[in-house]
Structure 1
Amino acid sequence: MHFPAYKASLALTLACLCASAWAGEIVSDKLDSPILGRSLPFTIYLPDGYYESFDKFPVVYLLHGSGGDEHTWVAYAGARETLDGLIRRREIAPVIAVMPAGGSSWWIDGQIEKMQLALRMDLIPYIEKRYEAKSDRGHRAVAGISMGGFGALNLALSHPELTCAAGLLSPAAYAQPPKKSSAHSNTGQFAKDGQFDPARWSAQSYPALLAGYKAQKQIVPMYISGGDQDREVTPAMNANLFEAIYAIQPTQVKLRVVDGAHEWMTFRDALPEALKYIDRQCGFNGHRKPMA
């Protein structure tokens, strides 16, 4: 027997067994939303030990990008593997992750439906009643990809009383969205008289929300990331967003430019750092470490 090869094989087997033994559960659920007038489906990640614990858990709401649904984070963004690994290595506290289906709503209260209101008044109360979820701001966070980043940013600025931190992964923080964007739909959230209305886009975008956010004097720490080769959400766009938030909360915003374009590998690579930032800023592990 070749002992070095045997030991390597044994170590790999044990590592795989350990990883599989420490795995969260993915559950599909839906709620009847009075605000939307229809059901709102979502996927939820329940951390390992959820059913045995006597404690409640922090919650991170993950908002998908345009064209996505409640399965996107698990199927393409590696959310389950990322959460399992971070929790197993104790880099973040065990958390519940809620991944709702937002269609092309841009996660706002627009012309077609009031999706942000549904998140606030229907989904969050349902999660905190149905699951072992902590129900205070200090244990509730939000993150989003592209369109979901736009929605997470809009929610954080409009309702800072709801979340303790936000992760903005390649957020679609356009001055005006490109023609190919779902925001340009003539029957969508930003439409008026059957045409995309630039004024309605601007009213929901972060420059229009900053004054109100600043006046509320409640800070939401933000983690912003994007790819250096992203031609949709460019590094310059992320830098402009960072500068705007930095002017309000210089020690509670972080910008990271990483290798990659507007693609899944870029989003997957950014997710762990966003979750670790959220964990530290919110103090999910029992201590808060504000970051520069």
Structure 2
Amino acid sequence: MGFVVALGTAAAPPGPAQAPTPGRSQVQEHRFRSAALDLERSYVVVLPPGYDAARKKPYPVVYLLHGLGGAPRDWLTYAHLDTELERLVAGREVQPLVLVAPDGDNAYWTDHLGTPGAPGPRWGTYVADDVLAEVEARFNVRRDGAGRAIAGASMGGHGAMSVGLMHPQRFAAVVSLAGALFAEPPTHRKIYKRVWGFPADAAHWAATSPIALIRALPPRAKGVPALYLECGDDDPAGFLEDAILAHQLLLERELPHELRVNDGGHTWSAWTFVTEDWLRFVSGKLK
């Protein structure tokens, strides 16, 4: 068992082989139809410098979930992950990674409760099943849990933790940047009622809540993804308290994880302070 606490200051067929671009990452955008949602959705892909579709060893892949009111390209506009990936790969600080940012609307990356006879939209299944299948059919990426990670910011942090802990065999690492981990069922926005019901359905809440999923883990549980939690010390959403609670629960269960508390609020400037750190973290966990 180990953990780190740090304080700081602020389905398509495979595509044709692409010629490597030395030193530069490639950004692409694609659309596909999700079976879970019965909708067409888009996603952005960042291919590492020198990406080779014919490479014998498939590339490790990191799935990136945006926040409430956000979009896939937030990871480029605010976190600059395309240029960060170039720099870190060039310096051999991380291995070449494929980054995938799907569109998640404002749905909390979670299967919605719905009503009897009318199940809600399955946004968690969309990520865990459909996005993975689409990307693995189109790109030369790993198709096993040891080669996948999932990360998210705010609402996306909730999604990354929820999907990652519900499907631990599919991901080697999970990153939550100021994730909406929700120690208690939220009630102050209509979106929460659509996702979990109002008052929240107890079984549905326990099955999808990151805090509830951590509570359900036995001591020294095997097969749990490596977890990386971050939050700003001035986060006005109250998410720092939930990150610390998750940290305490993981300590009690003797499960490896890292916690970063930064000088900042609920903003990209706080989250990008740890970009290099969490990219190194996931790179080190992916085989």
The interval holding the TM-score normalised by the smaller chain is 0.7 to 0.9
Whether the aligned pair in 2 keeps the contact of 1:157 and 1:213 (CA below 8 Å) is: no
Whether the aligned pair in 2 keeps the contact of 1:233 and 1:262 (CA below 8 Å) is: no
Query: CA shift at 1:153, angstroms?
Result: 0.7
Change (3 A) 1:234 1:47: same
Candidates 77, 80, 83, aligned match of 1:81: 83
Whether the aligned pair in 2 keeps the contact of 1:66 and 1:182 (CA below 8 Å) is: no
Whether the aligned pair in 1 keeps the contact of 2:196 and 2:205 (CA below 8 Å) is: no
Corresponding position of 1:282:
286
Secondary structure in 1 matching 2:270: helix
Corresponding position of 2:237:
232
Q: Please state if 1:168 is matched with 2:168.
A: no
Q: Which has the higher helix share?
A: 1
Percent of residue pairs bearing the same amino acid type: 27
Query: CA shift at 1:169, angstroms?
Result: 0.6
- What is the distance in 1 between the residues matched to 2:215 and 2:241? 22
| Structure 2 gaps, min length 5 | 1-20, 114-119
Corresponding position of 1:197:
199
Q: Please state if 1:139 is matched with 2:144.
A: no
Query: CA shift at 1:155, angstroms?
Result: 1.3
Secondary structure in 1 matching 2:195: coil
Candidates 123, 127, 131, aligned match of 2:131: 123
- What is the distance in 1 between the residues matched to 2:59 and 2:93? 15
- What is the distance in 2 between the residues matched to 1:22 and 1:97? 16
Q: Please state if 1:94 is matched with 2:99.
A: no
Secondary structure in 2 matching 1:270: helix
Q: Please state if 1:60 is matched with 2:68.
A: no
- What is the CA deviation profile of residues 152-203 of structure 1, one whole-angstrom value per residue up to 9, with x for unaligned ones? 111121110010011111111122466665643x5x2223xxxx43345743
- What is the distance in 1 between the residues matched to 2:32 and 2:254? 36
Q: Please state if 1:267 is matched with 2:271.
A: yes
- What is the distance in 1 between the residues matched to 2:269 and 2:162? 25
Corresponding position of 1:258:
262
Whether the aligned pair in 1 keeps the contact of 2:53 and 2:140 (CA below 8 Å) is: no
Secondary structure in 1 matching 2:169: coil
- What is the distance in 1 between the residues matched to 2:28 and 2:105? 19
- What is the distance in 2 between the residues matched to 1:207 and 1:218? 18
Q: Please state if 1:46 is matched with 2:47.
A: yes
Secondary structure in 2 matching 1:232: coil
| Structure 1 gaps, min length 5 | 1-19, 284-292
Q: Please say which of residues 83-92 and 133-142 is displaced more in the overlay.
A: 83-92
Q: CA RMSD in A?
A: 2.3
- What is the distance in 1 between the residues matched to 2:191 and 2:160? 16
Aligned residues: 257
Q: Please say which of residues 148-157 and 226-235 is displaced more in the overlay.
A: 226-235
- What is the CA deviation profile of residues 79-116 of structure 1, one whole-angstrom value per residue up to 9, with x for unaligned ones? 21222222121111000000000011111111331111
- What is the CA deviation profile of residues 202-230 of structure 1, one whole-angstrom value per residue up to 9, with x for unaligned ones? 43212322355449731211011111111
Query: CA shift at 1:130, angstroms?
Result: 0.8
Secondary structure in 1 matching 2:72: coil
Query: CA shift at 1:141, angstroms?
Result: 0.4
Corresponding position of 2:25:
24
Secondary structure in 1 matching 2:231: strand
Corresponding position of 1:287:
none
Secondary structure in 1 matching 2:228: strand
Change (3 A) 1:244 1:121: same
Query: CA shift at 1:23, angstroms?
Result: 1.8
- What is the distance in 1 between the residues matched to 2:191 and 2:275? 24
Corresponding position of 2:167:
159
**Rg comparison, structure with higher value:** 1
TM-score by length of 1: 0.81
TM-score by length of 2: 0.82
Query: CA shift at 1:78, angstroms?
Result: 1.9
- What is the distance in 2 between the residues matched to 1:167 and 1:117? 19
